[in-house]
Amino acid sequence: MGSGRDELKESPDVQTLPYDNLVSRLAEQDTTPWYRKRNLRLLYLTMLPTCLAVEMTSGFDASMLNGLQAVDAWLDFFHNPHSALLGLMSAMYSLGAIVAVPVVPLITDRLGRRYAILFGSIIEIIGAVLQAAAQNLAMFIIARFILGLGIVFAIVAATSLIGELSHPKERAIMGSLFNSCYFIGSIVAAGVTLGTFAMKNNWAWRIPSVLQIIPSFLQVAFIWFLPESPRWLISKGRNEEALAILVKYHAEGDANSEFVKAEYTQIEKTLELELEGARISWREMVATSGMRKRLIICSFLGLFTQWSGNGLTSYFLAPILENIGITDNRTKNLINLSMTLWGLVNATFLALTVSRFPRRMMYLACTISLLLVFTAWTISSAEYSRTGSKASSRAVLAFIYMYSPAYNIGYNALTYTFLVELFPFHVRARGITVFQWWGRAAGFFNQFVNPIGINNAGWKYYISYCIWLTFEVLFVYFVFPETSKLTIEELTFLYEGKHREEQTKYIEKGIHQEQAPDTHKDESKERISQVEEVNS
C-alpha cells in the first residue's frame, strides 16, 4: 500500500478514499497556493486586522511599559516606581484578565467568536483612553486593569476563530502567525517610546498610551467583514450559513467541491457526535480522563509560556540592563527596539516553518534551547557581578538576544495552534480560557515578583528559572501528545479511542447518504448565493 499522498493522486474520488483522516488527505491533494485563490486570500487579509492584530495589543503593552521605565517624564510623574510598586503596575494587566476568565467562554460560545472579539476590543479602547488620560497612579493602575479585562475576550475568540475558519492547509501557519504579531505591536511601542522619551512633558508617556488604541480600533472597524466560525454556526443550527462560508472560502464558490462536501460532513457529524450527551459547562472539563489530561496540559502550558524567563525581557529589561552596567536611557530604548525587531523577524520565520514539523519535537527543541540559553545567561550574569568585566556584560546581552528564537520555536509559534488542536469544539473556548487563566496568573505573579527578585537577589534570582525550565523539558517529553498533520475534527477524540472509531463510521455513513446539499443542488446553490450576499 502506498502513502496517503500517493493514494490521493491515484484516486481523487471521495468515495474511493479511506474515511479516516479523509479531509486531511483531500487537503493535501489541493496544490494551488492560498494566494492564488481570490476568496481565501481575501479571508486571510481580513484576518490580519481582526484576529491577528489582537496580539499586537499585548506586544504594544509589554514593550510600552518596558520603554516607559526609561522615560524621565513618566518616572517623575509617578514618583519613580520600582520594586513592588512597579510590579503592581505591570501585574494589573494580568489581574484584569484573571477576573474576566469566568465570563469569557459564555460570551464566546453564546454570542459567537466575532462578537466576543468586538466586545473585548471595546473594553480595551476604554482602558487605553483612561490610561492616556491618567491623572494619578490609581487611575493608571485601574486603566491597566480594564485593558486586561478586554484582552482575554479578544484572544480566546480570535484564536478559536483562526483555527475554525482557516483552510486546513494553512490553519497551523495562521495560528502560529497570531503570536508573531505580538512583535508588530512591540516594535511600534518601542519606536514610539524611543521617539518620545526625551520630551520634557507628560506627552512623553501619554502619546504611547493613546496609540495603544490602534489595534483594538482595527478590530472594531474590520470585524464586520469577517465571516463567523462555520463550527459555531453549525452548533447553533445555522447549517446553511456554515456551508455557504465553506463553499466560498474553501472551494472558491464551487458548491460541487468534493473537499467541501467531505469537510462539511466531517464538521457536522463530528459536532453531532461530540455534543450528544455533552453538557457545555465547566464540569465538562474534568468529566472524563481525556478531558482531565487536556486540562493538565493546557494549565501547565499557560505556566510555561510565562515562567520561562520571557517576563524578564518583556517587562523589566531596563533593570536587567542596569545590572550589567547599561544605564543610559537612550541605549536602553535602542536595545528594546532592536530586540523587538529581532523578535518579529525570527518569530515570523518560525511561524511559517515550525508548524510543518511534529509538535512534540518542536516543543522539546524549544524547552531544551531555553534551558541552555538561560543557564548560560545566569553564569554570565554571575561572572559580571563578580568581576564587572565588559566581556561578561556583552555575553549576557548576547544570550538575551539568543533567548528570543529559543522561546519562539515553541511557545510563540505553536501555542494557540496546539491548543485549538487539543480541545474539541464544545470546550475549546473554555480550554483556551483555562490556558489564559494560568498564563495570566503566572504573569501576575512574575510581574509583581520579578522586580523585587531582580532588585534583591540580582543574578541569583535567575537560578529559579533554570530549575523550572528543567521541569518543562521533562513535562513536554512525558506528557505532550502529537497533534500535527490532522484537521481539528480528526483530533476531536484524541484521547478517546472508542469514540474515534465511532466518529469514522459516522462520517462514512454521512458521506454516503444523500444530504440536502447533494439531493437538491439547484436549491442549495440558491441558498448559498443568498447567504454569500449577506456576508459580502
DSSP secondary structure, 83-139, as one string: HHHHHHHHHHHHHHHHHHGGGHHHHHHHH-HHHHHHHHHHHHHHHHHHHHT--SHHH
Query: Residue holding cell 491515484?
Result: 10
The greatest distance separating any two alpha carbons of the chain, rounded to the nearest whole angstrom, comes to: 81
* Among the listed residues 431, 398, 411, the one whose alpha carbon sits nearest the alpha carbon of residue 368: 411
Helix residue spans in 355-389 (DSSP H): 359-387
Q: State residue 452's pLDDT score.
A: 73
Helix residue spans in 30-103 (DSSP H): 38-47, 54-68, 72-77, 83-100
Q: What does the alpha-carbon distance between residue 383 and residue 376 come to, in Å, rounded to a whole number? A: 11
Q: State residue 125's pLDDT score.
A: 95
Q: State residue 245's pLDDT score.
A: 96
Q: State residue 67's pLDDT score.
A: 78
Cα torsion for 387, 389, 395, 397, to the nearest 10°?
Answer: 100
Q: What is the pLDDT of residues 148-157, one digit of tens each?
A: 999 999 999 9
Query: Please, are residues 480 and 299 in contact by the beta-carbon 8 Å criterion?
Result: no
Element (H, E) at 344: helix 329-353
Q: State residue 189's pLDDT score.
A: 86
Q: What does the alpha-carbon distance between residue 111 and residue 530 come to, in Å, rounded to a whole number? A: 23
Q: Residue 529 has which C-alpha cell?
A: 448565493
Q: What's the Cα-to-Cα distance from 77 to each of 42, 192, 390, rounded to whole Å? A: 46, 19, 34
Q: What is this structure's pTM?
A: 0.81
Q: State residue 513's pLDDT score.
A: 62
- Tell me the percentage of the chain whose pLDDT exceeds 70: 84
Q: CB within 8 A of 59, min separation 6: which ones? A: 181, 182, 183, 184, 185, 186, 187, 189, 340
| Domain 20-226, architecture per CATH | Up-down Bundle (1.20)
Q: CB within 8 A of 391, min separation 6: which ones? A: none
Query: Please, are residues 362 and 483 in contact by the beta-carbon 8 Å criterion?
Result: no
Q: What is the pLDDT along the chain (536 residues), one digit of tens a residue?
A: 333 333 333 333 333 334 457 778 888 888 899 999 999 999 999 999 999 999 998 888 888 887 787 788 888 888 887 767 777 787 788 889 889 988 999 999 999 999 999 999 999 999 999 999 999 989 999 999 999 999 999 999 999 999 999 999 999 899 989 988 988 988 888 888 888 877 888 998 899 989 999 999 999 999 999 999 999 999 999 999 999 999 999 999 999 988 998 899 888 888 888 777 556 667 777 878 888 999 999 999 999 998 888 777 665 666 677 777 787 878 877 887 888 889 889 999 999 998 889 999 999 999 999 999 989 988 888 887 778 788 888 888 888 899 999 999 999 999 999 999 999 888 899 999 999 999 988 888 877 777 777 677 666 777 888 999 999 999 999 999 999 888 888 888 888 766 666 666 666 666 666 444 444 444 444 444 444 443 44
- Extents of the domains making up the chain: 20-226, 284-499
Using DSSP, state whether 229 is helix, strand or coil. coil
Q: What does the alpha-carbon distance between residue 82 and residue 373 come to, in Å, rounded to a whole number? A: 27
| Fold matches, 20-226 and 284-499 | yes
Q: Is 322 exposed, middle or buried (0-12, 13-18, 19+ CB in 10 A)?
A: middle
* Among the listed residues 249, 322, 293, the one whose alpha carbon sits nearest the alpha carbon of residue 528: 249
Q: Residue 140 has which C-alpha cell?
A: 493608571
Q: CB within 8 A of 90, min separation 6: which ones? A: 65, 315, 316, 447, 448, 451
The sign of the dihedral angle between the CA atoms of 332, 336, 342, 347 is positive
Q: What does the alpha-carbon distance between residue 247 and residue 261 come to, in Å, rounded to a whole number? A: 9
Domain 284-499 CATH class label: mainly alpha
Helix residue spans in 236-328 (DSSP H): 239-250, 258-275, 289-304, 310-315, 317-323
Rg (CA), the chain: 24
Q: State residue 2's pLDDT score.
A: 38
The sign of the dihedral angle between the CA atoms of 107, 110, 111, 114 is positive
Q: State residue 196's pLDDT score.
A: 84
